[in-house]
Structure 1
């Protein structure tokens, strides 16, 4: 049991500390030799045409601000198209969008889910690049000029931007979510230097139109699927850290739990949709990155997080040496801290360090719940808002 405790702690430390440090070091070395594609604000006739696609379900509270934000993006007007699809919306979203002549509206009364909505309108896209973004995400005005230059590299098939979250206060759980995305952004940037980002966030994700494939019915995570399809076709995913989207974020423990369960289910679904042996033979580097960045987090770490307290109880302090005693005490402190964070989660203005252990344990529990709900046949194809 002592060995199992050590192995569990080592795996978790490797996934969240060891691999990031390794990839950061390798990324720094590779970055010295790789050609950089610098952003520019020069309006050139050679700039590719970009279609900005926004899938929105009952987002009337956000859509007007989103459309104005999208129209304000610095890019030649004749090189920029905007599509908003509002399938299934019942809050008047389509009426609001129809007021803007610069925006192409797609609306169907039946609600089939985000993937179905996106798939339905992709046939109308004739631009070189498609930029996917969410209705509640505000982009920085130079986002396109930071994303587009990466496509000068013919091996770049897609580019991910940086995701930020904000509720205007940046306290408690929202601050921890923001801290997590800063951590993720740091690793994604290093991953891109080494070879490729392993999965782009749907809040800000640009892809060559020619690489888009018909998404299968029942797909849960469209952004993850498109990311892996880019890699499967022999292209890399770049990272533009100066192009960012700020997501309007209001934390609700139950709604966020549902969101994380859905993401977990989509992650597990993806494992069965890719020919991993073929991908390993043809693209070993991104597979190595994906296994370390994603798969171990999905199918190993969550169960270790649950098992470690039991290992600690079984091992006890009786015959433990100094190192083992320290490991046990740290585990006890961490899980007690997580429990305290859970108790305080409903209170306001609690320092973020109370939420960090809770967030870690809670997110891994959601991964387990989402995995088994998907395996037992629950459908996630119709997405629910969590705001």
Structure 2
């Protein structure tokens, strides 16, 4: 009994340490050795179809297209396709009139970004596809750097680098760490997920997205790597998101992403096959350890309690009571207004909410509840 509990504790801690400490550091060291890319000369720029999936108001679409037209890329080489969400399909004619005949406007056949993207690709004319969202802004050389990356032999897609400019110190540190990990992944094989608001893909690797799919970014990467190519991340291709999210909104965004990850595993279990997925080890350590973390911590805690109970029931009871009290206090503090708590306390509670948020995603996945997307303005 004791040896079994010790083995359980050791295995759980080993997975956590590998996924949260060793793997990120190892990937960051690999990524630091990635050389910078040089964009091609203007005569070598191939034609690109820009696919913007959106349900934002027309003025925001106009503003986004203006930024894309100002890129250091031949304007004549760009085709613009605006793919409206099916929930705003009635706006198609008005949007078309506002954007003019130089932009193709279509709409998805069903609600959701996946359906809109599929409709947009069907309307695209060129071999290279640039996928963008409405809110972000590209650096002038972002597209040329992405194209130069994807034109290399063996590469099927290349994603830009979204700058950590949220204004939240905790989330910016997390994102900088994430970018370092992605660089290492690409140096080994491929990033696990493209940045959905900014990536270029070769059309030959496109596969129509299933209706209701949440993680379109993971689908695109999976389509490329199962098609025999690699997915790059380009540090110099900078993208900025000027929006600022509250921590409550950030939690909602993370919940959506985590639920989408679990949806993907349930819908496409082949991603867990080493034969089909050359990114399997990276996927397990970088993605699946995250939703499993609360469960691994729970297993570790219960096994530790079992060991303590065998040796000293009194001590086990005291520690359990202390842990339950700390959890109750955190729950009460989390319900208080942010202005009533010290900054360090707010950050600690937010970190705890992020850590245990996967439990809610697991509950959604178990119930098959996939409608978790909510827009933030």
Q: What TM-score results when the alignment is normalised by the length of structure 1?
A: 0.79
Tell me which structure has the larger Cα radius of gyration: 2
Question: Distance between the aligned counterparts of 2:242 and 2:329, measured in 1?
Answer: 28
What residue number does 1:222 align with?
A: 216
SS of the equivalent of 1:20 reads: helix
What residue number does 2:27 align with?
A: 23
Q: Is the 8 A contact 1:97 1:103 kept in 2?
A: no
Match of 1:53 among 33, 51, 54: 51
What residue number does 1:12 align with?
A: 16
**Are residue 203 (structure 1) and residue 197 (structure 2) matched?**
yes
SS of the equivalent of 2:274 reads: helix
Match of 1:363 among 354, 358, 376: 354
Match of 1:176 among 170, 174, 191: 170
Question: Distance between the aligned counterparts of 1:356 and 1:97, measured in 2?
Answer: 45
1:196–1:92 distance in 2 versus 1, CA, 3 Å: same
Q: Is the 8 A contact 1:160 1:201 kept in 2?
A: yes
What residue number does 2:260 align with?
A: 266
What residue number does 1:233 align with?
A: 227
1:27–1:74 distance in 2 versus 1, CA, 3 Å: closer
**Are residue 255 (structure 1) and residue 249 (structure 2) matched?**
yes
Question: Distance between the aligned counterparts of 1:305 and 1:128, measured in 2?
Answer: 47
Displacement of 1:296: 2.1
**Are residue 291 (structure 1) and residue 284 (structure 2) matched?**
yes
Q: Is the 8 A contact 1:63 1:97 kept in 2?
A: no
Q: Is the 8 A contact 2:53 2:133 kept in 1?
A: yes
1:139–1:302 distance in 2 versus 1, CA, 3 Å: farther
Displacement of 1:21: 1.8
1:253–1:128 distance in 2 versus 1, CA, 3 Å: same
SS of the equivalent of 1:280 reads: coil
- Equivalent residues in 2 for 1:296-315, closer than 5 Å: 296-298=289-291, 300-306=292-298
Displacement of 1:106: 2.1
Q: Is the 8 A contact 2:150 2:200 kept in 1?
A: no
SS of the equivalent of 1:361 reads: helix
- Equivalent residues in 2 for 1:336-375, closer than 5 Å: 342=334, 346-347=338-339, 351=343, 357-375=348-366
Q: Is the 8 A contact 2:191 2:233 kept in 1?
A: yes
Question: Distance between the aligned counterparts of 1:111 and 1:117, measured in 2?
Answer: 8
Question: Distance between the aligned counterparts of 2:13 and 2:153, measured in 1?
Answer: 41
SS of the equivalent of 1:218 reads: coil
Q: What TM-score results when the alignment is normalised by the length of structure 2?
A: 0.81
1:48–1:338 distance in 2 versus 1, CA, 3 Å: farther
Displacement of 1:125: 1.1
Which runs of 5 or more residues in structure 2 are unaligned?
Answer: 313-319
Displacement of 1:62: 3.5
Question: Distance between the aligned counterparts of 1:104 and 1:53, measured in 2?
Answer: 10
Q: Is the 8 A contact 1:83 1:103 kept in 2?
A: no
Displacement of 1:215: 1.2
1:292–1:102 distance in 2 versus 1, CA, 3 Å: farther
Displacement of 1:283: 5.0
What residue number does 1:63 align with?
A: 61
Which runs of 5 or more residues in structure 1 are unaligned?
Answer: 321-327
SS of the equivalent of 1:141 reads: coil
SS of the equivalent of 1:289 reads: helix
How many residue pairs get matched? Answer: 362
Q: Is the 8 A contact 1:156 1:236 kept in 2?
A: yes
